[in-house]
Amino acid sequence: MRQPTPDVVAHRGASAHHAEHTRGAYELALEQGADALECDIRVSRDGHLVCVHDRRIDRTSNARGVVSELTVAAMAEVDFTGWRHELPGSADELVRGPAGARERGVLTLDELLGMVRDHSRPVRLFVETKHPVRYGGLVEHKLVALLARYGMAGPADPESSPVLMMSFSQSAVRRFREAAPGVPTVQLFKRFRGSWRTGVLPPWADLAGPDIRLLREDPGFVERAAALGRDTYCWTVDEVADVELCRRAGVRFMATNAPASTRFHLAQSRPAQFGSVTTK
């Protein structure tokens, strides 16, 4: 039976309120009851997986440079929060600031996996590998190795996997599937390719990952994909109308920058027979 509402995935953390890919953004997302977290990863010059969306750190920090040319030690001295100047959403946030103090340093995937593992309730993590990159397929190989170190590379079944891998690169998803066949994969896309509109995806992809703009044009895609055994992960859903669209269409996972308000809208529109929202 299809679940009544989508799982809420915090896109780069609660990034509508705190600077993306920071500890504070993910801690707030967990406080707000997100079912899952989402991050983008790249390889640093010294071979670490770091949570940065762009090729460069210019937009999201007070420094400049290409991620693949910077070491983690160098990025540890960089402020990744100061570029955001929004007012706090509550008096508590005003007093404590993001995560209790001003944050410095890049967030590594190792740290984020630790947050997921140690959290008081089960939380899943969607990891997007970015391409094209200087180190090519190294990012997927390092991801598999890190998941193995955490005991997450070989789940008993897809539904029990705490991690899902995703990418816009078909070769990246295929490469990861070959190395870690038990971990679910998401093929992200901004437009339909070939038979994808019918719900037929590449064999190495477990879930479809369309842009919300595609579902606005063709909400029936979700049902077609589900008929072929493929759930849908939709990004990035912040508008109330889009939240409702995803709920009605049967989207399984919904990435949002604002987990709290998205969960509120889902609770308001949830059919009465399903009762109240359950915090997972």
Kindly compute the dihedral angle of the four CA atoms of residues 220, 223, 224, 230, in this order, to the nearest 10 degrees.
130
Please name which of 39, 40, 12, 49 lies closest in space to residue 138, comparing C-alpha atoms: 49
Is 11 one of the annotated active-site residues of the chain? yes
In terms of Cβ atoms closer than 10 Å to its own Cβ (0-12, 13-18, 19+), residue 197 is middle
> Quick check: bond before 279 cis, omega within 30?
no
Cα atoms in the 13 Å half-sphere on the side-chain side of 116? 28
Q: Compute the distance between CA of residue 147 and CA of residue 151 in angstroms, rounded to an integer.
A: 6
Catalytic residue among 11, 21, 48, 265: 11
Token pair recorded at residue 234: 């939709």
The answer to whether 118 touches 112, Cβ cutoff 8 Å, is no
Q: Compute the distance between CA of residue 2 and CA of residue 207 in angstroms, rounded to an integer.
A: 15
Q: What is the CA radius of gyration of the chain?
A: 18
Catalytic residue among 17, 21, 48, 53: 53
Task: Report, as residue numbers or ranges, the catalytic residues.
Answer: 11, 53
